[in-house]
Amino acid sequence: MIGLLLITASVLAIDPSPKDQFAEIEIDESFDAYLAANPLLMEVTGAKVIRLKNGNQVILAVASTALNDGSAKERLRAEKVCRVKALASVVAEKDGVQVAHTEKVEEKTVVVLDGEKETAKSVSELLQITKIKVEGITKDMPVVGRWKSKKGDVFYMAIGTICDKNGEAVRDNK
């Protein structure tokens, strides 16, 4: 019995309320049940598809960006960046991503003669470049939520829609 209480207490401690983790939370009431009910959905960026019992599906895309200051210009930049990132995550979820990785290793050995003493020094340089490309087309979705990290240094934005089983947007989001 004590073990069960400890497990329950630890589970509750792991899953705090969004108000404990975030600030300035604004979520559309149609999406509140999905986002606010699961703070992990609010924290982890990317596209998510939630299948509902009635056959409909909720499509959510969360994106974030660091805030440099509290100005209106910075807020506008954050909104634009997050919209592009969120839409890209939807395309990536649907069509996949193309990843290219290259590595270049250069090794040099330098021999130094100092009178009668000879020393060698080996220098290695490693250059790694990884590029990720997402390309495709998706329908735009409305903003369904905005919030900031508790410290106010990260801005989050969610776009989303509710679709029927054929992928068409549902007007009644219930």
pLDDT in tens, 32-63: 888 888 888 899 999 998 999 998 999 999 99
Number of domains the chain contains = 1
Q: Is residue 9 part of a domain?
A: no
Query: Which residues form the domain of 58?
Result: 15-97+135-163
Q: Is residue 123 part of a domain?
A: no
pLDDT of residue 171: 65
Q: Is residue 42 part of a domain?
A: yes
Global pTM value: 0.71
Q: Is residue 20 part of a domain?
A: yes
Q: Is residue 127 part of a domain?
A: no
Report phi then psi at 152, rounded to 5: 80, 15
Higher pLDDT, 54 or 12: 54
Q: Is residue 110 part of a domain?
A: no
Q: Average pLDDT for residues 105-120, to the nearest whole number?
A: 83
Q: Is residue 61 part of a domain?
A: yes
Strands (DSSP E) found in 19-151: 22-27, 46-51, 57-66, 98-114, 117-133, 143-149
